[in-house]
Amino acid sequence: MKTALWSLPALVLAGCATFSEDGGFGVVESAVRERTGQQARWVRSDDDAKSVRARVKELLAPPLGAEAAAQIALLNNPGLQARYAELGIAEADLVQASRWSGPTFSFARLRHGGGGADYEASVFLDVLGLITIPLATRAEAKRFEAAKTRAAGEALQLALETRKAWFAAVAAQESAHYMAQVMEAAEASATLAARMAAVGNWSRLNQAREQAFYADAAAQLARARHTRLAAREHLTRLMGLWGEDAAFRLPDRLPELPKAAREAGDLEAQALAQRLDVQAARRDAESLAESLGLTKATRFIDLLEVGHLREREADESRHSGWGVELRIPIFDFGGARSARAEHLYRQSVNRAVESAIQARSEVREAYSAYRTAFDLAKHYRDEIVPLRKKISEEVLLRYNGMLMSVFELLADSREQIAAVNAYLESLRGFWIAESDLQAAMTARSPGAMGGAVRAATAPARSGGAEH
């Protein structure tokens, strides 16, 4: 009996969980690679930091693309690196749960009135803690898996947000370029109107109109330049860049519209299978189910210890034996703890169901925004822009034939630029809607879908077409 009792610690130590080499990051890395084709990296040493720094420099050398921007964010964003620490915390909790608290030692010395003393020594083993280790370990293992899923979701969300920020930055840069062209046309028109009015060939009303348009174009150009700066800085923050790295170059134009939009197909089923927030909610429910079992197992007993006792009397006589310490709560039979665990479990189940419902609904809404944005951009590209080009050609012919004034030619030039700028806005809306659709299918809720719908369906800003 003694041999079996004292061999328990060795058995417990043999069954303890240990820290993994990657800290659970392999799951995150695989999830990101499968869904985006990008590489996720957890920087935990100086060598890792140097490697990441070299890779970032390499990606920043050419004009920055959308995928390169997302890759830099996955490697270099400090906030994401901070969130990866949750993996280490969850794994530490798992290792701790798998380890036994060990024996409890006690020693007492009692003096008698005659000068003698009794000695008592005991060692108790927490048997209940030992029995419940498998349950506690399974529960913490579920939480560790959920932490992996959440970390992967954070990484995927960051990659998708960075892609959206890249499209917004390039579109803002291109829009500022077109607004500068509008400004040049407005300035030329205002200057010509002032000269013609000075010699009496142009009315003060028409001159005031041209001057007003010039002033409005100047205000729009100022706003466009600030939007360009703000969009670029947002992208810079997501990529975690500073110093000379923040002077990266962007391409001059957005990618062209795809030849065809993707079909809806079984997007909802794919979302339920791939979305990490749905998987995390499911694992949280499983973890709480394990915790509920542990709570019920220890409902009526708070402490169960078995130990060996030794006692020496004042007359040097010795006694030894075994003792059991069992703590039974008289006023608390664990009903409150059990009820709390059951409510937590039901809460987690309902949240898992809610996440599935949201996933299906958000995918449908995101696809509608995506398809609407595609159709609008295609309409601008295939209908409006060619029509504006044809009108400009006809206006130029009439101007060359002295059938139209120079002011009409300048006004038409502004309207053509406005049409191109409107197509640019619709193209930006499409690429952002496409990123939101990816987020709805793979990571988690992309946020308020209404924002994507508004971006896809809102009328493009006019560069002066109303003039």
Q: What is the pLDDT of residues 100-114, one digit of tens each?
A: 666 677 767 666 666
- In this predicted structure, the answer to whether residue 319 has a pLDDT above a threshold of 70 is no
Q: Which comes out higher in pLDDT, residue 304 or 157? A: 157
- Averaged pLDDT for residues 147-151: 83
* Residue-wise pLDDT tens digits, 33-61: 988 889 999 998 899 999 999 999 999 99
* b/e burial code for range 404-437 (CB count within 10 A of at least 16 → b): beebebbbbbbbbbbbbbbbbbbbbbbbbbbbbb
Residue 397 carries which side chain, given as an amino acid letter? L
Q: How far apart, in whole angstroms, are the C-alpha atoms of residue 458 and residue 422?
A: 10
pTM score over 0.75: no
Q: Which residue in 23, 425, 457, 79 sits closest to 238, CA to CA?
A: 79
- Averaged pLDDT for residues 380-406: 82
- In this predicted structure, the answer to whether residue 68 has a pLDDT above a threshold of 80 is yes
Spelled out in words, what is the top-level CATH class assigned to the domain 2-457? mainly alpha
Please tell me the number of Cα atoms within 13 Å of 453 on its side-chain side. Answer: 11
Burial bucket for residue 279 (CB in 10 Å: 0-12, 13-18, 19+): buried
User: What is the model's pLDDT at position 465?
Assistant: 39
User: What is the model's pLDDT at position 140?
Assistant: 76
User: What is the model's pLDDT at position 115?
Assistant: 63
- In this predicted structure, the answer to whether residue 3 has a pLDDT above a threshold of 50 is no
* Residue-wise pLDDT tens digits, 218-252: 998 999 999 999 999 999 999 999 989 999 999 99
* Residue-wise pLDDT tens digits, 5-34: 444 454 444 456 676 777 788 888 888 898
* Residue-wise pLDDT tens digits, 405-450: 777 777 777 787 778 888 888 999 999 999 889 888 886 654 433 4
| The three-state (H, E, C) secondary structure of the chain, written as one string | CHHHHHCHHHHHHHCCCCCCCCCCHHHHHHHHHHHHCCCCCCCCCHHHHHHHHHHHHHHHCCCCCHHHHHHHHHHHCHHHHHHHHHHHHHHHHHHHHCCCCCEEEEEEEEECCCCCEEEEEEEEEEHHHHHCHHHHHHHHHHHHHHHHHHHHHHHHHHHHHHHHHHHHHHHHHHHHHHHHHHHHHHHHHHHHHHHHHHCCCCCHHHHHHHHHHHHHHHHHHHHHHHHHHHHHHHHHHHHCCCHHHHHCCCCCCCCCCCCCCCCCCCHHHHHHHHCHHHHHHHHHHHHHHHHHHHHHHCCCCCEEEEEEEEEECCCCCEEEEEEEEEECCCCCCCHHHHHHHHHHHHHHHHHHHHHHHHHHHHHHHHHHHHHHHHHHHHHHHHHHHHHHHHHHHHHHHHHHCCCCCHHHHHHHHHHHHHHHHHHHHHHHHHHHHHHHHHHHHHCCCCCCHHHHHHHHHCCCCCCCCCC
User: What is the model's pLDDT at position 56?
Assistant: 95
Q: Would you kindly state where each structural domain of the chain is located, as residue ranges? A: 2-457
User: What is the model's pLDDT at position 235?
Assistant: 97
| Most confident of the ranges 79-93, 219-233, 251-265 | 219-233
CB-CB contact of 123 with 102 (8 Å): no
What tokens does 165 get? 């920020």
User: What is the model's pLDDT at position 135?
Assistant: 63
Q: How far apart, in whole angstroms, are the C-alpha atoms of residue 52 and residue 458?
A: 40
Place of tokens 């197909």: 265
Mean confidence (pLDDT) of the chain: 77
Between the CA of residue 329 and those of 205, 279, 364, 377, what are the distances in Å? 94, 39, 54, 70
User: What is the model's pLDDT at position 246?
Assistant: 92
Q: Which residue in 309, 259, 230 sits closest to 430, CA to CA?
A: 259
User: What is the model's pLDDT at position 373?
Assistant: 93
